[in-house]
Amino acid sequence: MIARSKPNVEPLAMRILWVSHLVPYPPKAGVLIRSYNLIRQLAKRAEVDLIMLNQPRLLGSYFDSQEAGKAAALEALKPMVGRHAILDIPAEQSAASRVLLKISSVFSRRGYTMRWLEGSSIENIVRAWTEQTQYDLVHLDTVSLDYLRRTLPPSTPIALDHHNIESHMMGRRASKEMNPLKRAYFGLEYQRLRAAEVAAIGEYSGNIVCSEDDKTRLLELNPSANVRVIPNGIDISGDPPVRTPARAKLLFIGGLTWYPNLAAVKDLVDRVAPALRQRGVSFHIDIIGKGPTDEIKASVDATDDITLHGFVDDISQYYEQATAFVCPINDGGGTKLKILDAMAKRLPVVGYPLSCEGIEVKHNESALIAEGPDALASEIERLISDPGLRDRIGEQGRRLVEDSYDFDEIGRNLYDYYLGLLTDRPSP
C-alpha cells in the first residue's frame, strides 16, 4: 500500500524518512507506544515520510484482519506524515517461511535477526524514495534494517534506533535458556548479532537508545559511536488519572507472545502467588495480554485468585481499580513502557530490578524493587497493608514521569539531536 498525503504544516527545518520495522499502531504496548509517539512528536517539528514493514502477527494481535489493521493505522498516521507506505516482509508471509529462514540462518554468518527483515522489494522502495526526494536524514528503526544502509545516498545522515541492544538481550536469553539446543542456537545468534552491531554502529551519524544502561552497552561495542539517550515516555496530556483502587487487586499487563512477559507471568502464577498465599495475604491478580500458553491457562484455571483476561481494548478500569502493578520481568532488554504507564496513572509499582532497568526509580520512593519471588511477595504485602505507602509510591512515580518521561519533551530532544547531526556530522 503506497499513498501520499499533505499534512497541514508550515515549512519545517528537516525532511526525514523514517523506516519502521512495524506498523506503529495502535499505541497500546511497548515498541508501538514508543514508535508512534516519536513519529508524532517529530512530525510536529519536521516533515516525515514513513515506510512501515508489516509484521502480520503483531498487527493481528489488535485487529480482526490485516486489512482492518492497515486501514486503522493509516487513518491515524496520515494526518501526521507525508508520503507513506505499508510493505510486506517476505519472511513473515507464513510459518514455513519463518522456519526456513531460521534453519538457513544457522549456516549464515549474519544470523536470523540481521536477515529477518530483508526483501528486495523493500530495498527498491527505499532506493526509489531517496532518489526522488532529497531527505535531510534517514531514520532506521532497528539494527535489523542495517542492510538498507547500502541503498541510501552516502551524503545523507542516517540514524539508527536501538529499542534494545539486541546482542545483549540475546546473550541474556541464551544464559537463561534451559534447553541445550535452544541455548546453543541463541548463543550462536548472540555472537553473530554482536559482530554485526560492532561492524555497523560506527557507520551511522547517530544512534539513539532508550536508557543510560543501553548507551553504556552500545559504547562497549564501539567507543567512538555517536549515541544519544532518547528515553521511552508517556503522553501525560489530558485529565489527571482517576484512582478508585479495590483492596488487594494486583495487575500485570503485557502481550504473552513476547517471551519476557510470558516468563514473568509464569513466575507470577507459579512462584509469587503461592508465596502470597503462604503468607496468608488475600489478593486477586488480573493478567491482561494476548497469547497465554496452555500451561499458563491450566495453572490459572486451578486457582480462584488469578484471572486471565487476554487482550482488552480499554484497560483504563483495570488501572483505576488496581492496588498495585506487579512486574516480575527478569529477561529481555530496553525499558518497560508498562512501568511508565502505571506510574503515570499513580499506580504503585512493585517488581524485579530488571523490570525497572533504564528508568530512574528509587526503591521505597518511586517504586518497590525486590529480588526473587519471596521478596516480591513481601513488598506486595507491604503495599496491600499500608495505604499511606501506596499513596506515597504512586505520587512519587507520577512525579518522576512528569519530570523525566513526558513525550513532548522527549520529542523535542530527539528533534534537536537530529538537527545537530546535520551540522555536526561525525566521520564514520
In whole angstroms, give the CA distance from residue 45 to residue 93: 36
Total length of the chain: 428
Mean pLDDT, range 28-47, rounded to an integer: 91
Mean pLDDT, range 28-38, rounded to an integer: 88
Task: Report CA torsion sign: 127, 132, 136, 141.
Answer: negative
Residue 5 has pLDDT above 50, yes or no: no
* 2 Cβ contact list (under 8 Å, min separation 6): 83, 84, 85, 125
Task: Please state, in angstroms and as integers, the Cα–Cα distance from residue 425 to each residue in 225, 319, 422, following that order.
Answer: 12, 44, 6
pLDDT tier for residue 2 given thresholds of 50, 70 and 90: very low
* 114 Cβ contact list (under 8 Å, min separation 6): 143, 144, 146, 147, 192, 193, 196
- What burial letters (b/e) apply to 142-168, b meaning 16+ CB within 10 Å? bbbbbbbbebbeeeebbbbbbbbbbbb
Mean pLDDT, range 139-167, rounded to an integer: 95
pLDDT tier for residue 10 given thresholds of 50, 70 and 90: very low
Mean pLDDT, range 47-52, rounded to an integer: 98
Task: Write the pLDDT tens digit of every residue in 245-260.
Answer: 877 999 998 888 777 8
* Rounded-to-10 torsion of CA 279, 345, 363, 353: 80
- DSSP conformational letter for 367: B
CB atoms within 10 A of CB 53: 23
Task: Report CA torsion sign: 73, 76, 80, 84.
Answer: positive
Q: Which amino acid is at 310?
A: G
pLDDT tier for residue 7 given thresholds of 50, 70 and 90: very low
Task: Write the pLDDT tens digit of every residue in 259-295.
Answer: 788 889 999 999 999 999 999 999 999 999 888 888 8
% pLDDT > 90, the chain:
64
Nearest of 115, 118, 110 to residue 193 by alpha carbon: 110
Mean pLDDT, range 308-325, rounded to an integer: 88
CA Rg value for the chain: 22
What's residue 302's pLDDT? 84
Give yes or no for a contact between 30 and 337, defined as CB atoms under 8 angstroms apart: yes
Say if pTM beats, i.e. exceeds, 0.85.
no
What's residue 424's pLDDT? 65
Give yes or no for a contact between 51 and 87, defined as CB atoms under 8 angstroms apart: yes
Task: Write the pLDDT tens digit of every residue in 389-424.
Answer: 999 999 999 999 888 888 898 999 999 999 999 976
Q: Which amino acid is at 96?
A: A
Mean pLDDT, range 195-205, rounded to an integer: 95
What's residue 335's pLDDT? 62
Here the cell at position 328 is 516480575
Task: Please state, in angstroms and as integers, the Cα–Cα distance from residue 286 to each residue in 67, 205, 338, 382, 385, following that order.
Answer: 31, 44, 14, 19, 19
pLDDT tier for residue 303 given thresholds of 50, 70 and 90: confident
